[in-house]
Amino acid sequence: ELKVEQNPLFLSMQEGKNYTIYCNYSTTSDRLYWYRQDPGKSLESLFVLLSNGAVKQEGRLMASLDTKARLSTLHITAAVHDLSATYFCAVDTLDLSGTYKYIFGTGTRLKVLA
Amino acid sequence: DTGVSQNPRHKITKRGQNVTFRCDPISEHNRLYWYRQTLGQGPEFLTYFQNEAQLEKSRLLSDRFSAERPKGSFSTLEIQRTEQGDSAMYLCASSLGSGNEQFFGPGTRLTVL
């Protein structure tokens, strides 16, 4: 069974600090997505990573994908309070019927303290 | 607004009642997905459509759940004889074909009393 694990599950950090969220998955895939979710809201797309070695950056967030290690990272630089949210990775995996399907990670709940 | 829309945004119902949710995908997207998300968890796949054809249903989708996409445009998700365990956020997403990014709607939050 495909598993997608994120760590940490909870992260409390001071403003201005750096930190990395990890997303490990258990099957072959070269498509991975990062989403942000605010409480009670839907999922907002952050990054689309479609190949080994892909790196994307937007503001204080940078995501990367290592398909050989089955690992993606979301790095936060100089955190600000507005980044407080839950972050999900989603692995797009090909099932037996030949269809791509998302499997979501467990989520990382980030709280940035002023 | 050309994004994915869902109605209603919130639904409170009593146990045993039937509820129906609607999802309008991005207009040119042929794939439509339904997910369920409970508090503190990631979204879990329920079912998906390619145009009007429902191609897969998760084991999470009991026989009380039914989904349709009659003309390959909007979709409905009906839950019959609701149970308290059905309380969750129901998310709809759409994409242009398989293997492309899914765009999510705002969700319908269901509370079963």
3-state SS track over B47-82? EEEECCEEEEECCCCCCCEEEECCCCCCEEEEECCC
Question: In A, which residues are within 8 Å of B40 by CB distance?
Answer: 107
pLDDT band at B51 (very low <50, low <70, confident <90, very high): very high
Show the tokens assigned to A114. Answer: 């002023």
Please determine, for residue A28, whether its predicted confidence score (pLDDT) is greater than 90: no
Looking at CA atoms only, how far is residue A39 from chain B in angstroms? 10
Q: For the residues A47-51, what does the mean pLDDT come to?
A: 93
pLDDT single digits (tens) B19-41:
999 999 999 999 999 999 998 89
Beta strands B31-37 and B88-95 are antiparallel
Output the average pLDDT for chain B.
93
Taking an 8 Å cut-off on Cβ atoms, the answer to whether B42 and A106 are in contact is yes
pLDDT at B1 over 70: no
Nearest to B42 among A94, A99, A107 (CB): A107
User: At B39, phi and psi to the nearest 5?
Assistant: -55, 125
Residue B72 C-alpha, separation from nearest chain A C-alpha, in angstroms:
18
Dihedral sign (CA B79, B85, B87, B93): negative
How confident is the model at residue A68, as a pLDDT? Answer: 92
> Which chain A residue shows the shortest CA-CA distance from B49?
A99
Q: Which residues, including other chains, have CB under 8 Å from residue B55's CB and lie 6 or more apart? A: A97, A99, B48, B49
Average pLDDT over residues A74-80: 97
Q: Distance (Å) from the C-alpha of residue A14 to the closest C-alpha of chain B?
A: 23
pLDDT band at A105 (very low <50, low <70, confident <90, very high): very high
Closest-CA residue of A relative to B43 is A104
Check B98 against A104: CB less than 8 A apart: no
pLDDT at A34: 97
Whole-number pLDDT of residue B60:
82
CB proximity B103 to A under 8 Å: yes
Smallest Cβ distance to A42: which of B40, B56, B106?
Answer: B106
Residue A99 pLDDT class (50, 70, 90 cuts): confident
